[in-house]
Every structure is written in structure tokens, then in C-alpha cells.
Chain A
Amino acid sequence: MALSLEEVRRIAGLARLRLSADEERTFAVQLSAILDHVRQLEELDVSGVEPMTHALAAGESPALRADTVEPSLAPAEALAAAPAREGTCFKVPRIIE
């Protein structure tokens, strides 16, 4: 089943990816092929089967963290990699609500 270009654009929008026209076409083809392959899973009877959403067995997990305050980063460290800053804020293009 082929993925339409429209679908590809919708997904790219959700994922905040700008794709070139070439990429859109290529991905449409490639993703369709992959989705065709994964459709194999429909052959299986999964009724009553629990999804394995957590890979660590219950009982192996650690205890929760106590509510104590730990040192934070200094703002200089927090912002060290910031592509743009204003004061101690991360600066971004104007946000319009």
C-alpha cells in the first residue's frame, strides 16, 4: 500500500521536518516498502497478548527517588551550548500564541 505524498507531508509536519520535493518522493517510496514489510504482523493472532511496553521485568526496578533538592547547574553551564541567549534565557524567534 503506497503512502501518498500528502500523508508524507502530514507526517513531516508533525515531526517538524522540512523535506525537499525529492525527499518527499523518495520517502514515500521507501516508507511504503517498509510498511508493506511490517504488514506481515497482521498474520499473527495477538488476541489476549499483553504488549511488552516495559523491557525490565516488574520486580527488577529500583525504588523511587527521595524528595531532596540536589544542586542545579549554574546558568552559565546550562546556557553554555545555547545557540542564542538573552540574559539567562534561551532566545528563540518570536512565539506567537
Chain B
Amino acid sequence: MELSNLSHSLNLLLPELTLSIALLVLVLFDLIFHHDKKIISYVALIGLLATGFFVINQFSLSGFAFSTGNESYRNFGMITIDSFGSFFKLIVIVASVIIVFFSLSSDEIKKTSERIGEYYALIFGMILGMLFMISATDLILIYLSVELLSLSSYVLAGFTKLRERNSEASLKYMIYGSVSSGLMLFGISLVYGMTGTTNLYMINSLIQIPHLNLFTFSFAMILIFAGIGYKISSAPFHFWTPDVYEGAPITITAFLSVASKAAGFALLIRFVKITFVSYIDTSGFWQLIHVFDWKTLIVVISIFTMTLGNFSALWQDNLKRMLAYSSIAHAGYIMLGLAVLSNQGLTAMLIYFAVYLLMNLGAFLVVMLIANKINSEEIDDYDGLGYSSPFLAASLAIFLISLTGLPPTAGFIGKLYLFVALVDANMIGLAVVALLNTVVSLYYYVRVLKHMYLTKPETAIPEIKTSKPNTILVLVLLIPIFIFGIYFTPLVDLAKGCITILGL
């Protein structure tokens, strides 16, 4: 690899480099300032903001980095920088920044302030894994970034060690995770055995040959999908989700449900788009190479995922667990956007993700603030909360209404664009399935509202006072939900500008 190539590559990798340096600085500061660890959080914040700055800088950039091969054959890279990737990176970074603020006010994390350095180092490991997942176009790098993400999250899921559930969550996560990443690795090896390359672009050109064994190839694809499906918690790889979400510290749960999922989706979308699309027709539909029927697989999985998520959520009494199932259901909705296999569907997914980031993090934030005080996430303990703490309850109500997808909240816009994409692709039946699911979801979201506003509490619960920073944080998540619910043109324009996935 020539030096010019390397510097070009590194230039495209600025956010990741910044983050790695921040990680090292973090570890160093953790060692130096072991008396007052408050500073660590701010170091983390600065590192994230710097990374975010470079990510935003990259929006106009695109290109390949770290290309493999010899002198005569050096076209594609292990890393692809494009606006699609930048969008998802921004989602991840924004989520991370919010999570840092979460952690600052979380009682669970405060109890482990001794180990706060490790906490942030591991979170940075996760973020780094996500950033690479988002832009990786080489199966080895994909596997490695998934592992980096998983490894950090296993530890973080059991980080507080305060309750047994905590360790249980960690162990469960790890066992399921190892199995699915093993499956994925096996799938990758099969693909390599058939094509002799791990680069997605090369695979794309190689699988157009007629002699490919479709059976083995499909088998390999399903195995790879197992690895990704685990990250986005789509059925049937979702079993870990409720237990882990319930057991893990709530900051990590929130992070997993948004950022980890976003990275997984980015990977899935990029993988499908680069590897299997032969061309995009004039109306924006992706024409697949006829080797593997992604459309059917994704349609089936998404229906399965959202139905299962929604119906399981109906019976949950623990709010964290309910939100876990709801996040499974949302993965199903988002996957519908991919099932359309069109630019429009992709736009819808991006919009949905931006909105999902706000409302899901918001819901978790409020649940955390309430849990800080009443030390419970059980839905029965929320009785009468609407009157004892009107601000928090109203915020939670709005986040949940947005998750349901009712206007005039941003959640509606996400669903609207998904429906438009589905109907445009003439997949009305699927749209109807999604909407029936929405009705089911209404029931369990409204159940929380019911407990907060309609049920009389058995014992009077104290008013939960929110500190100023927390109030501001809630508002930061809350206000855009209304703004985007009513005036969503900027969001849509941003998403429309970010559907470029280099490769075609």
C-alpha cells in the first residue's frame, strides 16, 4: 500500500481515528485522575463531539478507503464513505452524546462511579464497532466490527453487578451473541469458499456468473443474516432482547435499542445493496441479482418480527421489558422499508431512524428518571404519576404516543413515509399488516397512559422533581418530536440527500 493511498484512506477515516484517540485519552485520564473521576465524563463528551464534528464534515465526502488487491487491481476498499454512512454515523454519535448525559444523571451508574473510566472506554469500544459496521464493505471487517461491538456490550450489559438480573443479562447476551456471530463467521467462510474474496464489491461482480451453487449461497446468506439479525433483534434472533434490556443498566439498554440497532441496520442495508443489487431502475427500485431472494426473506422476517414484538409486549408489566418488545416491533417496521428495495424505502428508513432515535431515547430517559426516584420500572407503580409529576408523565405520554405513530408527533411521519414507500411499491397487503400491528401496539402504549392518568394510586407517590439539566435533556428530545411532526421537510430533505450508497 502506497503512502499516498494510506494518507487518503486515513483522511476518510477521521471520525474513527478521533474516536480511537479519544478512547486512549480516556483510558489514560482514568489512570491519572483516579481521585476525581468526574472529569472522565467530560473527556468522553469532548471526544464524541469532536468525532461528531468530523462526521458532519464528511457529509459531502465520499470514496473508498483501504483498498485491497495488487497494483493492477485496486478499485474497491474495505471502507466506503458515503452520505448514507455519514447519516447513520451521525445517528450513532448523537445517540452516544445523549447517552453520556443519561449516564451523568443515572443513579445506577452513579453507584459505580469508581469504574466510570471503564464504563466509558467500553462505550467507546461499542461506538467504534458501530462506526466500522456502518461503513465496512469487507466481510472480515464486518465480522471484526460486529465482534468489537458485541464484546463491549456483553460487559456493559452486566456492568453494574448490583442485581442478579444484571449478570444474567450479560451472560445471556454473550451466549446468544457468540452463537450468532459463530454462525455469521461460518456463513462468511462459505461465501469466501465460493467466490474467493471477502470484498462485497467483488462478490457483487462474481455472483453474476451462472454457475454459482444457489443452495449453498442461500445457506451462507441465511447464516450471515443470523449475525446481523441478532444485532437488530429481529425474530427469530430476538430471544436475548427482553432479558438483556430488562437486566442491563438502563443507559445501556437505551443505547443498545437505538445505536446498536442503527448500526445493525446500516450494515444490513449496505450488505444487501452493495452485494446483491445489479442496477437501480428509473423509478428508484433496486433490481436484485437472482441469486438470493432477499425480498421474501425480509418480508417474512419483518412481519414475524413486528407481530411477535407487539403481541409479546401486550403482556409485559415491566416498562423496560415492554420497551424491549416494542423495540423488536419497531425493528420489524423499519425492515419493511428495506423489503421495498427502493430508494424511497431507504429514505423512509432513514427518516424512521432519526425519529426513532428521539422517541425511544426519550422514553427510556423518562423511565430512568422515574426509576431513579421510585426505584421501580413496574407499570403498576406508575399509577397516578400523571398528577404527582405532571412534566415527566406528560413527556412519557408524548414519547409513547409518538412510538405508536399518532399525529401530530414525529412517529407518525416515520410511519407515513414507510406506508408511502410500501404503497408505492404496490405492497398494500404488507402495509395493512403493519397497520394492524400498530393497532396492537396502541394497546400497550396506552396502557402506560392509563396507569399514569386514569388509575388511582393505592399509596400516594411522591412528586418526582427533575433537575434543570434533566429537564432540558427531556425537552431536547421532546420538542423535535413536535417540530418534525408538524414540519418535517428538513428531515425529509436530509434523508433524501443521504441515500447514496457508493457502489452502483
Instruction: Decide if A and B are genuine partners.
Output: no
